[in-house]
Amino acid sequence: MRYPIHETFHSWQGEGVHLGRSAFFIRLFGCPVKCPWCDSAGTWHPDYIPEQIEKRSPEELAEAAAAVGAEFVVITGGEPAIHDLKPLTDALRAKEVAIHLETSGAFVIQGDFDWITLSPKWQRLPLLENLDLADELKVIVEDENSIEKWIQYLGDAIGKAPVWLHPEWSQRENSEVLESITSTVKERGAPFRAGLQAHKFFKADLLDPSSAKPSPLGGNEELGY
């Protein structure tokens, strides 16, 4: 078993409940969801796919994760759940490493995780069984109507876990988007929380030379997005 790797790097978690904690990221290649504002387009977009994609065994990845001494490992993508992650989580368990997953929830989750962050996408909606597994939800707010649409869709899934409201990165200075988040948190309270990709302000990921060159689609008019 060998996994296609887009990048591995040591940084800190820039989002959600575990914000600010030391983390080792394993970003797997491949994503059928294909969000038009994706900030990891190198995992799937033809304009950004690298010429060569490294493949590494679960044991190699677990060794690398354990060596840096981070508080936990984040398996992300792309969409990591398109892969059978059980061999990888088994290898990480053998190293006594805490394991987090970041997923759209659109595919069956295979593996043993300490924490699951589920970020639903309209391009491919999450499986209901995965909504029940989520320890936190991360809703991407694309415009001033996004939050209400997600509230209508998610229904009873809201209330079981914190719901982070993140402005889509290219909209981070859009006053209507930001006001919609603020209004929701003020008017509804828990479980809604205002969120942001804090690591991007610090450029924290880029300080590890193993991290990949950024490939965001959002707001890139030259690409037509």
Highest mean pLDDT among 34-43, 128-137, 212-221: 128-137
The domains located in the chain, with CATH, are 3-218 (3.20.20.70)
* 18-41 average pLDDT score: 96
Percent of the chain with pLDDT over 70: 97
Using DSSP's 3-state secondary structure scheme, residue 104 falls into: coil
Residue 214: its pLDDT value, please? 83
The one-letter amino acid code at 212 reads A
Q: At what angle do helices 58-68 and 86-94 cross, to 10 degrees?
A: 40
pLDDT-derived band at 224, boundaries 50, 70, 90: very low
This model's pTM is above 0.85: yes
Report the chain's mean pLDDT, rounded to a whole number.
95
Residue 26, classified by CB atoms within 10 Å of its CB into exposed (0-12), middle (13-18) or buried (19+), is buried
Per-residue 3-state assignment (H helix, E strand, C coil) for 117-136: EECCECCECCCHHHHHHCCE
Residue 51: its pLDDT value, please? 87
Q: Exposed e or buried b for every residue in 48-78, given b needs 16+ CB within 10 A? A: beeeeeeebebbebbebbbeeebebbbbbbb
Does residue 188 surpass a pLDDT of 50? yes
pLDDT-derived band at 208, boundaries 50, 70, 90: very high
Using DSSP's 3-state secondary structure scheme, residue 36 falls into: coil
- Of the candidate ranges 7-11, 49-53, 134-138, 164-168, the one whose mean pLDDT is the lowest: 49-53
Q: How far apart are CA 105 and CA 86, in angstroms?
A: 16
Render pLDDT for 61-117 as a digit per residue (tens, 0 to 9). 999 999 999 999 999 999 999 999 999 999 999 999 999 999 999 999 999 999 999
Residue 1: its pLDDT value, please? 87
Q: How far apart are CA 42 and CA 207, in angstroms?
A: 18
